A and B are shown apart, each in its own frame.
Chain A
């Protein structure tokens, strides 16, 4: 096993044998995984571009993490619940969340207003690591309900420094909550490198809490899928939580407000570029004759269409009504909120169009 973790598909596009995990997939599955990753990457590029045009307040790029996200989300069953952080665009897209919903959040039109029940994808959580607690509670609830669904909670290497994550690990372990903790170790907590986050490899953290943890090559979509499948089986069986450390690399900036050239060197980025998740699957698909040029052209065209839809959708997004502030404070009517709404309306009425 390399330092990058369990691997079934090398950067050269060649399969790697593993005693426990299998990368078996029929050509259709391989193509679907590629398509998921390619569309996510195109969506992400558009996010960065729209931010640079002043259309978005912020965009956190997933570039480089496509395999970690697609491999894991495609291991889920219907009814399994996803708790993302804020970079899981490939996960949301694969699960069928309207991509424009993500863009509304990063444009500041709403605070993330998709229905979490519609696709079993919880809202993005921008507070670092707190979603692991929500996810653990939800997973514990599933046990109480007698459901056989599982939960996957996404977080980053930086979040492992948060108390919330340690609390979630402990609670989930003590109550055997059916949850997979999926840590995308993209090497940087904004500008802080791994060595300033942890003394031990992150997957080893689980041991201290009494549950298994493994590292998987996060740029290998087949390995991520296989390991996540096994982890889900484990948590569904009532054996308690499971930690996956998907070892990957954030190729872009932390967000569009960040400049990674200030804290990491170009040579390192180049080393990771050689491990690109799409490139290796591209190579495998061609080597195994599972896809031809027409397929790649088709995916590219689909990506362009998605980008165009996003572009138009974002540029045409109406500004929110100021009154919406009051709409979702409480599920039911609240007298204080209603009074404030009335005061605000009166204030607004003090102006008139001329």
Chain B
């Protein structure tokens, strides 16, 4: 059985006269025990989707089930079975770490002791500060507390809406390591993120842009779908190199990518590109590279 089945979900905001489409017919399925990533920039519809699946919003069309229950009819059952961490820090800032966790345990009819094994890994990192008020924690620690609270009732499906936004690279790494260990405990995790580089840490991803899914696949599968040869070029004047690359009609796309520019050829291949670069009279360094999720996202967006 699938942990989450979403079929043709539609969500509109705004007035009847000038509706804004947030989700334009989204469908996907998430297997039990999977880490499923919804990857997309701000405004793609990630939060709307999560709110619909956690029964906080009603969709304007389509159906979905979570853990086998209908998101509209069985909303009460779903609320007992899911854990949810919204995009912004949503704990009580004026309660201490321990009080927050205790409170969440009580409202889910459990206790910290009962599910300590599940949260131990995460909670033990902030336990030394258990008497500190949540508002006084650092960003990374707040995030760990929020995750502990979302887990304390041993949910079958965990929804994490942009848990790593605004968090620095170190905390992001740690957070994903925690998710990996949770997955081993059999919890299904739906996580959304605007950071393309986090896609590789998911079992499968859906690339979301402007309320539409561009692609659903394993990270490897997404990359395999790319289907074109990708070159990385670098010189000592990156800005003018890019301008030159954009002027060539044989080049389909060229864009900065870290220390290189990535180039996709419309016609020809390595030799044609080398010829062109030589014509510009620049010193350059060139190599063929494997595309990553961000390359795929860019290509899919431009299609």
A binds B: no
Binding site for A on B (CB under 8 A): none
